[in-house]
Amino acid sequence: MKGPLGKKVATPKKFDPKVLFPISRTEQRKGVFDKTDINNIKGDDVWNIHELLWIDKKNNSHHKELSIRLNCTSKNTVESKSMKLFLGSLVYRQFKNISDVKKVIKRHIGAVTKSKIKIGKIYTKQDAAECEIKIPSKVKPLTESSYTACKRKNFKTYVFKAFRSLCPVTNQPDIADIYLVADLNSQNKRDISEYLGSFFEKNGFHERCVEEIFLELKRKKYFIKSIEGYFERRGGIAIIPRRYSV
């Protein structure tokens, strides 16, 4: 069974958690992870929900912004369009308060992903030193870093703006800012700039792109603590995969 992404799907006219469609992380990671990689990273996927509507017991409507956080070790993630359809269907059920809304969201997404779900405030972008992304004329592998950091590494937050990849289902562009907490010299930044530019015509879900970048930087001996891919929102939902070294 295929999910609703890339298809014309009717908006639910009743509360319908069955529209949630799981995507296996194992399948998503094929060709990126080896058997030991999953033990060397941690992190989560933050879903910023900007257009959550819910109805109370007096039939009053409410607008809430919140974030849904899913651990990267979960068995499944959720297809983005099915998430939008599920959240949109909440208006066909009445709730006592926002706490009840959150409980329902956590229960149904947790059941699909086989993982505990956290709900919190909207996640915002960090302050960071800006770096450009260069689109290479010819795609080539990331150069191994020759930078030898001092014993006490000088970690800073960098943001490589205007990253682009392509949705593997619709082939539409996904735009993001890529945040790195890292110790980088000037040559590192130039090499990373071109490496990120190599995704310009590459297909990949948000989570896969971020994990692929993080693991490749680690394999090529860059001093990286963490990565965040802050993808622009669609349909009121922004997805921010975050990964860290163990």
Give the residue among 83, 77, 70 at the shortest CA–CA distance from 25.
Answer: 77
What are 55's strand-pairing partners? 61, 94
Kindly name the residue from 16, 37, 100, 167 that is annotated as catalytic: 167
Phi and psi for 69 in degrees, rounded to 5?
A: -120, 130
Reported as type and span, the H/E element at residue 243 is strand 237-245
> Are 201 and 242 within 8 A, CB to CB?
no
The DSSP bridge pattern shows strands 129-131 and 156-166 to be parallel
- Which residue has tokens 């992190």? 43
Q: What are the angstrom distances between the C-alpha of 224 and each of 124, 162, 193, 234, 245?
A: 21, 20, 15, 29, 8
Kindly name the residue from 174, 177, 183, 191 that is annotated as catalytic: 174
Give the residue among 168, 161, 177 at the shortest CA–CA distance from 203.
Answer: 168
Reported as type and span, the H/E element at residue 212 is helix 206-219
Q: Is 174 a catalytic residue?
A: yes
Residues marked active site are found at 167, 174
